Structure 1
Amino acid sequence: MTNANGRGRLIYGCMGLGGPWDGTSYGAAEIDQAAAVIEAAQGIGIELFDHADIYRSGKSEAVFGEVLARSQGLREKIQLQSKCGIRLGERGLDTHYDLSREAILERVNQSLKRLQTDYLDVLLLHRPDPLMDPREVADAVGQLMAEGKVRQVGVSNMSGAQIAFLQDELQAPIVANQLEMSLLRRDWLESTVLVNHAENLEYSFPHGTVELCTTKGIELQAYGSLAQGRYTGATPEGLSAAESATAAMLERLAGEKDTTPEAVLLGWLMKHPAKISPVVGTTNPARIGACADAASVSATMSRAEWYGLWVAARGSNIP
C-alpha cells in the first residue's frame, strides 16, 4: 500500500465534500468543488481518495460519483477507498455500529451506486463493533471480493488486538488501519515512550498497535493529519503556548527548507518508520497544493528536527 520508496503516501480524505451534513440535496456548486479538489489532489500526485458511506449523509460519495461520470478515464487513474460500519440516526439511536454480514453487503452496494463505479480498491471497516462476529465479516468480505466489488480490505480505529482477532477469520490480508494521528493528537506516539511512567495514564492509545501494523505491513493512514490547521494558520487565535511555539517552529523550518509549514507538518508524520500515510482533508485547493513537498521533507528531516517538533508540541520534555 505504501510507495515504492518505502515511505507513506498522501491520501485525500473526501469528508468535506458534498455540502452540509443534513438531508439537503447537493447541486452544481458541490460537484464543481469536488472536481476542483480532485484536480488539485492529482496535481500533487495523490492517487487514493478516501470516503465513508456516512460522510455528509452520503453526499460526499455522490458528488464524487458525479465527477467520475463526467470525466472519462478518471476512474482508471485513481484508487477509491470507502468505509462502512457506522449508522447515524437510525432505529431511534443517534449512533450505533453494525458490521453484520447484511449491513456490510448493503452499505457497500449503496456506496458503489453513489460513486458510480463497479468496485472499491479498498473497503475499510469504520469502527469496532462489539457485536461483530468475525466469521460474518469474513463471509461478507469474501462475497464482495468474489463478485469483484472490493479488491482489498482494511480497518479504521482498531487496536492491534482487534486487528489480529479479525484477521484470524479473514481470508484476505488487512492492508490498512486508519487512525487519528498528528502532531496535535499524539497518543499513538506518547504511548510508545511512556511505558512505566506516571504520565502514561493521560493517554489511552492501545500500546502495540503501531508496532503490529508495522511488522505486518499494514498501512497506517493518519486522519486529522493537518491538525485542523491549528499549526498552519487556519486557527491563529486561541492557541496554547505549546501550539504557538510549534507553529513558529514549523514556519522556521519551512523557511529553511524552502517549503510550506503544511509540508513540514506532514513530513514529520511520514518520517516515522511505520511509513504513515497522511490523509489530507482540506477542501481548499491552495492548501492541498501546500502539502506537495511532504515526502521530500520527511526524507531530509533530521532526528533533532523531528524530536524538536515533538517536544514543542507536547509543551514539555520527553522522559
Structure 2
Amino acid sequence: MPRSPLQLLDGLLDADGMAAAAHRFVLGGPFGAEPAETTAERLAHFADAGGLLVETSHSYAGGRAEAAVGRWLRRNPGVLGVTTKVGHDPTGGDIPLSRDTVFAHVRSALENLGVEAVDVLLYHCDDPARSVAELADTLVSLTEAGHVRRVGVSNWRAERLSELAARLGERGHTPVASYQFSLAEPDPTLLAGSLHADSAVLDVVRRHRLPLLGWSSQARGYFARSGPKEPGDRPDPYDTEDNRARRLRCRELAERLGSRPETVALAWTLHHPGVWPSIGPRNTAQIDNSLRARRLTLTEEQVHWLRDGR
C-alpha cells in the first residue's frame, strides 16, 4: 500500500534515505502577501512534484500567512505537511516564550491552518531569559496535548541547541533545527539576529543527528545574479569576497555540466544528508528550476571545491 505524504515526511525526518517520489525541498514564499490563486497554484504544483512540507510562521505577512496556507490545506487535507514557527510578533520582533503564550499561539495556528496537529512546530527564536529545561517542557507538552507532531527550534546558539537536543532526546524526541544554510555564508552582522548554520551549530546537528531545515538555501537569489543588487537595496548579507568567488566557481561548473549556477548551488545543499533546503519560488516555473537540482550529482571533490576553491 502506498505511504501517505505524512508517513513519508516522518520517515525522511528520521532517516537519510528517501522514497523515489519524494524530495527534501521545503516550500516557503510570500504566503499571505500574494494573490490566493498564486498560493494555490504553487502549493499544488509543489505537491504534484513530490513535495512533502510547506513552511510558514505565525508572524509572516503581518500574521496572515498561516491562514493563506490553511485555505489550500482545507481543500487538500493530508496532501502536504506543514511546519510553522512561533515566537515572533506580526512585526517580526521576538516575544517571551512563556508556556501560556506558546500554547495560545499554537492553538491559533491550528485554527488558521485548519489542521488537527502541526507537523513540525519550531520556536522562531530563543528566549534566553528562560531555561532550556522550561522551553523543552513546553515543547513536550505540546506533543502530549496532540497539538504538534514534531518540535524544534530556529536561530538558537549552538550551546543552547545542544542542551535542548539532549533534554528532548531523553524524552524520546529528536528536534528539528532551522538555520540559514547555503553555499553562500552570510555576513552575520546583516542577518538581523537570524543565525547561519556555522561550524558550531553543524557540530551539534551531526552529533545529535538532527534534521536541518535550511532556510534561504538559495541565498536570496545570489547565485542567479551576475553582480550586486540594484542601487538603493538594503546591504546584501551574501555579497562577500568569499561568496563572489563561490559564485564564479558555480558558473564555471555549471558551464561544464550544462546547468545553471543557482542549480549547482542548490545541488550543493542537497549533497548534505539530513538537510532540507527551504526554497521560496514565486511561481511554478521557479519551482521547476529549483527541482532540477535533484538531478545534478556532484562529486565530493566538486562539493569541496565549490566551497573552498580547492
TM-score (norm 1): 0.76
Give the equivalent residue in structure 2 for 1:9: 24
CA RMSD of aligned residues (A): 3.1
1:106 counterpart (98, 104, 108): 104
Question: Cα deviation per residue 1:169-195 (whole Å; 9 max; x = unaligned)?
Answer: 44342331111111222689xxxxxxx
1:278 to 2:277 alignment: yes
User: Alignment partner of 1:215: what SS?
Assistant: helix
Q: Is the 8 A contact 1:123 1:150 kept in 2?
A: yes
Q: How does 1:237-252 map to 2 (within 5 A)?
A: 246-252=246-252
1:291 to 2:290 alignment: yes
Using the TM superposition, give the Cα deviation of residue 42 of structure 1 relative to its aligned residue in structure 2, in angstroms: 2.0
User: Alignment partner of 2:224: what SS?
Assistant: coil
Q: Structure 1 residues 115, 234: CA separation in 2 closer, same or farther (over 3 Å shift)?
A: farther
Using the TM superposition, give the Cα deviation of residue 240 of structure 1 relative to its aligned residue in structure 2, in angstroms: 6.9
1:63 counterpart (64, 68, 84): 68
Q: Is the 8 A contact 2:210 2:274 kept in 1?
A: no
Q: Is the 8 A contact 2:187 2:240 kept in 1?
A: no
Q: Tell me how far apart the structure 2 counterparts of residues 260 and 43 of structure 1 sit (CA, whole Å).
A: 24
1:147 to 2:145 alignment: yes
Give the equivalent residue in structure 2 for 1:85: 87
Give the equivalent residue in structure 2 for 1:307: 304
Give the equivalent residue in structure 2 for 1:227: 219
Using the TM superposition, give the Cα deviation of residue 138 of structure 1 relative to its aligned residue in structure 2, in angstroms: 3.5
1:76 to 2:90 alignment: no
Q: Is the 8 A contact 2:181 2:197 kept in 1?
A: no
Q: Tell me how far apart the structure 1 counterparts of residues 124 and 255 of structure 2 sit (CA, whole Å).
A: 38
Using the TM superposition, give the Cα deviation of residue 32 of structure 1 relative to its aligned residue in structure 2, in angstroms: 0.8
Q: Which one-letter code corresponds to 1:13 in the other structure? A: G
Q: How does 1:140-219 map to 2 (within 5 A)?
A: 140-170=138-168, 171-185=171-185, 207-219=199-211
Q: Tell me how far apart the structure 1 counterparts of residues 271 and 150 of structure 2 sit (CA, whole Å).
A: 26
TM-score (norm 2): 0.78
Q: Tell me how far apart the structure 1 counterparts of residues 300 and 306 of structure 2 sit (CA, whole Å).
A: 10
Using the TM superposition, give the Cα deviation of residue 261 of structure 1 relative to its aligned residue in structure 2, in angstroms: 3.2
Q: Structure 1 residues 5, 186: CA separation in 2 closer, same or farther (over 3 Å shift)?
A: farther
Q: Structure 1 residues 103, 12: CA separation in 2 closer, same or farther (over 3 Å shift)?
A: same
Q: Structure 1 residues 241, 122: CA separation in 2 closer, same or farther (over 3 Å shift)?
A: closer
Q: Which runs of 5+ in 2 are unaligned?
A: 1-12, 189-194, 231-238
Using the TM superposition, give the Cα deviation of residue 83 of structure 1 relative to its aligned residue in structure 2, in angstroms: 0.8
Using the TM superposition, give the Cα deviation of residue 44 of structure 1 relative to its aligned residue in structure 2, in angstroms: 3.1
Q: Is the 8 A contact 2:38 2:283 kept in 1?
A: no
Q: Is the 8 A contact 1:30 1:63 kept in 2?
A: no
Q: Structure 1 residues 261, 224: CA separation in 2 closer, same or farther (over 3 Å shift)?
A: same
Q: Is the 8 A contact 1:260 1:291 kept in 2?
A: no
2:32 counterpart (18, 23, 31): 18
Question: Cα deviation per residue 1:127-146 (whole Å; 9 max; x = unaligned)?
Answer: 11112233433443233222
Bigger CA radius of gyration: 1
Using the TM superposition, give the Cα deviation of residue 122 of structure 1 relative to its aligned residue in structure 2, in angstroms: 0.9
Identity of aligned residues (%): 24
User: Alignment partner of 1:77: what SS?
Assistant: coil
Question: Cα deviation per residue 1:90-141 (whole Å; 9 max; x = unaligned)?
Answer: xxxx823322101110111111111111111111111111122334334432
Using the TM superposition, give the Cα deviation of residue 293 of structure 1 relative to its aligned residue in structure 2, in angstroms: 2.8
Q: Which one-letter code corresponds to 1:308 in the other structure? A: W
Give the equivalent residue in structure 1 for 2:262: 262
Q: Tell me how far apart the structure 1 counterparts of residues 133 and 155 of structure 2 sit (CA, whole Å).
A: 20
Q: Is the 8 A contact 1:8 1:276 kept in 2?
A: no
